[in-house]
Structure 1
Amino acid sequence: MRILLLCTGLKMGGAEQQSAALARQFLHDGHTVAVVSLTADQEVSLPEGATVLHLGMRKTVPSFAMALWQLNRFVRQWRPDIIHAHMVHANLAARTLAALTDAPPVLCSAHSAREGGQARMLTYRLTDRWAALTTHVSEAGRQAMIAAGAVAPERIRVMPNGIDTALFRPDPERRQATRAALGVDADTRVVINVGRLVPEKAQHVLIEAFARLVRKADSPVPSADLRLLVVGEGPVRSKLEATIDRLGLQGVVTLLGMRHDVPALLNSADVFALSSDIEGMPLVIGEALASGCAVVATDAAGVAELLGDAGEIVPRGNAEALADALDRAMTSGVGTSEEQTARRQRIVDKFSLEAVARQWVDCYAGLAGVAGNGIPEPAR
């Protein structure tokens, strides 16, 4: 098939990384792939063999109109069988294109449980007729969009993110080398968080929880043997730095910034911690499990579906509960080889990139092979 993946942007977010991973897998499986970004920025690595186009759109109506004209010209030249849009602005652009032209079937994927306010949800509902299908990465997100009036239940189904289990896997040699490069010895318990530094990821709660842990006198793990690594960049970095200084955690908590060696960093960690208030289906939890990490996470949307009983879930915004859960997790570290294997196997069995890519291609084929009304049954 000729598959066009349309993204709002290609920064280092979960939706963007999933689009890049799907492009790699589709190419591997013999399909032809184009990746089109509405905006100019690119932080994720795209595979060789994909046709890539950046439209350079800015947040103005004339710029949106120009991007839409460029997109239409590209679609007419490249002739995809399906347009698969990811994230709000790309979803609305693809629907507008379908409304104005004889574009191929448009499939729209939402990746967050909170896609926007009432105006955006109304826009979703009014443009729904021009999408062949809408999907969400989790059942919790699907229900949130239905409750917000963005889409009728029969018009949205769940399609999970896929995890590249060849890239994310336990690797003792890489673990040792990465820890050495980070200046972490074998006895140190390492907690890692990976995500954009934005308010909804709530890394400040994780830092406060870690401060409680460091000061906890009865913890089985000495405070000198604890490290927290936060991977990512974003607008709240200065606030997080101030929190680290205020709590006296210099040298214990490290903001690593943007990194392109996340598989190696996950290998170096004992526990992955998610502190988010808002998610859709947090891709990095699956990556951490596939790497063998123990996982502690807040009860944000999509977490329970992905994590199952392979980790511990705590309430959002509760630093004390998060600290207690981290203490329990770090007592055993990554655990036995059997425990690591069980975590990884959950992802291999249910969320591997190969399996999810096959589901997408089956979905694309069904939509492209009918005249506008062959919508697969929604997930329940």
Structure 2
Amino acid sequence: MRILLLCTGLKMGGAEQQIAALARQFLRDGHAVAVVSLTAEQEVSLPEGATVLHLGMRKTLPSFAMALWRLNRFVRQWRPDVIHAHMVHANLAARVLAALTDAPPVLCSAHSAREGGQARMLAYRMTDRWAALTTHVSEAGRQAMIAAGAVEPERIRVVPNGIDTALFRPDPARRQSSRAALGVDADTRVVINVGRLVPEKAQHVLIEAFARLMRQADSATPSTAMRLFIVGEGPARSELETIINRLGLQRVVTLLGMRHDVPAMLNAADVFALSSDIEGMPLVIGEALASGCAVVATDAAGVAELLGDAGKIVPCGNAEALADALDRALNSGIGTPEEQMARRQRIVDKFSLEAVARQWVGCYAALTGVAGNGIPEPAR
């Protein structure tokens, strides 16, 4: 099957990383893959073997029209069986393309429980007829789009993100080397957060919770016995640095910036902490569980579906509750090998990348009449 993955951009976000992961898995399964980005930036790594095109779109109507023209030209040349768009702008662009041309079936995926305000929801509703199907990564996100009037219930279904369980797995040797690289010893309790530094990820709440932990710690315990590392980059960095300095946490809280070794960072952790106010289905929770990591997370959309009873969920924006949950998790440590494998098994059983990719290919086949191996379905 020839699969075109269309996205708004390729920055280091969860949706973008899922696109890259799906591209890798589709190629492994013998499909042809093209990844087309409306914008020029690229921070995620795409697999060799994928055809890649950046349309260089800017936030102007003439630029959008030019990007749409270039997209149509590429579709006619590359001849995909299906166009699978991800994120708001790509979803709308794919629908407009379908309205104006004889494009192949268009499938649109939303990744956030808050895809935008009323204008975007109206745009989704007005263009819905040109999408063969809309999906969301979580039931909470699906319900939010229905409630906002973006889509009728029968026109949207849930397909979760897939986790690459071969890449994200417990690795004692990697744990030791990663902790050494971070400058922490075997007795130091490590909390890791991974996410863009943007307001909706609410890392300021996590930092405040960690400050509470430090104040509650036994005065005889050195402050270096607990560390918080935040992996990611974004516009909220300076604000977070100000909070860290104000709370006197410079020695124990570190903003690591963008990293390309997230599997190693998760292996280094005793606890993964998610502090977000807004999510769709937070991919990194699945990655942390697949790595055997203990997880504490806020009750943002999609968290409960992914985490189940494999971790602790606390209310969004509540630093005290987050601190208490982190304290209990850190006192328990990463757990026994059996506990680590139980966390991992939840992801292997329900959210593995291989299983999700098969689900997508089945969906594409149903929309196109093309079997997963690229052979047309026989007439019935």
Equivalent in the alignment of 1:267: 267
Cα displacement (A) at 1:221: 7.4
Q: Which amino acid aligns with 2:283?
A: L
Please list, as runs of the form range in 1=range in 2, the aligned pairs for 1:162-201 lying within 5 A after superposition.
Answer: 162-201=162-201
The change in CA–CA distance for 1:32 and 1:286 in structure 2 (over 3 A counts) is same
The answer to whether the Cα contact below 8 Å between 1:8 and 1:87 also exists between their aligned partners in 2 is yes
Partners of 2:261 and 2:295 in 1: how far apart? Answer: 19
Aligned length: 370
1:219 deviates by 9.8
Query: Could you tell me how far 1:9 is from its partner in structure 2?
Result: 0.2
Amino acid of the residue matched to residue 58 of structure 1? Answer: R
State how far apart, in whole Å, the 1-side matches of 2:218 and 2:174 are: 32
Q: Deviations over 1:323-355 (max 9, x none)?
A: 000000000110111110000000000000000
Give the 3-state SS of the residue equivalent to 2:52 in structure 1.
Answer: strand
TM, length-normalised to structure 1: 0.96
Q: TM-score, normalised by structure 2?
A: 0.96
Q: What CA distance in whole angstroms lies between the structure 2 residues aligned with 1:333 and 1:205?
A: 22
Unaligned runs of at least 5 residues, structure 2: 371-380
The 8 Å contact of residues 213 and 223 in structure 1, kept in 2 or not, is answered as: no
How many Å separate the matches in 2 of 1:171 and 1:79?
A: 42
Distance 1:352 1:241, change over 3 A: same
CA distance in 1, matches of 2:112, 2:61: 24
Look up the match of 2:318: 318
In 2, Cα distance between the equivalents of 1:221 and 1:362? 55
Q: Is 2:3–2:83's contact at 8 Å kept on the other side of the alignment?
A: yes
Whether the aligned pair in 1 keeps the contact of 2:224 and 2:251 (CA below 8 Å) is no
Q: Residues 76-110 of structure 1: CA distance to partner in whole angstroms, max 9, x if unpaired?
A: 00000000000000000000000000000000000
Q: Partners of 2:60 and 2:357 in 1: how far apart?
A: 34
Once the two structures are superposed, the pairs formed by residues 1-380 of structure 1 within 5 Å of their partners are: 1-217=1-217, 223-369=223-369
Distance verdict in 2 for CA 1:154–1:81, change over 3 Å: same
Distance 1:309-1:219 versus aligned 2 partners, 3 A rule: farther
CA displacement, residues 169-226 of structure 1 (integer Å, 9 cap, x when unaligned):
0000011011111111000000000000000000000000000000104699764310
Aligned to 2:373: none
Off by >3 Å, runs of 4+ in structure 1: 217-224
Q: Report deviation, 1:68.
A: 0.1
* 1:95 counterpart letter in structure 2: R
Residue type at the aligned position of 2:328: R
* CA distances 1:91-132 after superposition (whole Å, capped 9, x unpaired): 000000000000000000000000000111011000000000
CA distance in 2, matches of 1:319, 1:182: 25
Give the Cα–Cα distance (whole angstroms) in 1 for the partners of residues 71 and 267 of structure 2. 40
SS at match of 2:230: strand
User: In 2, Cα distance between the equivalents of 1:17 and 1:108?
Assistant: 17
Distance in 2 separating the partners of 1:217 and 1:281: 33
Q: Is the 8 A contact 1:220 1:331 kept in 2?
A: no
Determine the C-alpha separation between the residues in 1 that align with 2:239 and 2:341: 38
Q: Distance in 2 between matches of 1:214 and 1:148?
A: 42
Query: What is the CA distance between 1:32 and its match in structure 2?
Result: 0.3
Provide Cα deviations, 1:294-333, integer angstroms capped at 9, x if missing partner. Answer: 0000000000000000000000000000000000000011
**Mapped partners of 2:224, 2:13: distance in 1:** 33
- Alpha carbons 1:294, 1:329 under 8 Å: kept: yes
The 2-side partners of 1:182 and 1:204 are apart by: 22
| Distance in 2 of aligned mates of 1:260 and 1:341 | 24
Which digits, 9 at most, give the CA deviation of each residue in 1:2-41, with x for residues without a partner? 0000000000000000000000000000000000000000
Query: How far off its partner does 1:369 sit?
Result: 1.6
Distance 1:217 1:53, change over 3 A: closer
Letter in 1 for 2:93: A
**Which AA in structure 2 matches 1:205?**
V
Distance 1:314 1:220, change over 3 A: farther
Residues in 2 aligned to 1:49 and 1:251: alpha-carbon distance in whole angstroms? 44
SS at match of 1:43: coil
Aligned to 1:251, the other structure's residue is in SS state coil
Give the corresponding residue for 1:373: none
Q: Write the letter of the residue equivalent to 2:365.
A: A
Secondary structure of 1:23 counterpart: helix
Give the secondary-structure state (helix, strand or coil) at the position aligned to 1:355: helix
Structure 1 residues without counterparts, runs of 5 or longer: 371-380
2:167 maps to amino acid: L
Contact 1:137-1:158 within 8 A present in 2 as well: yes
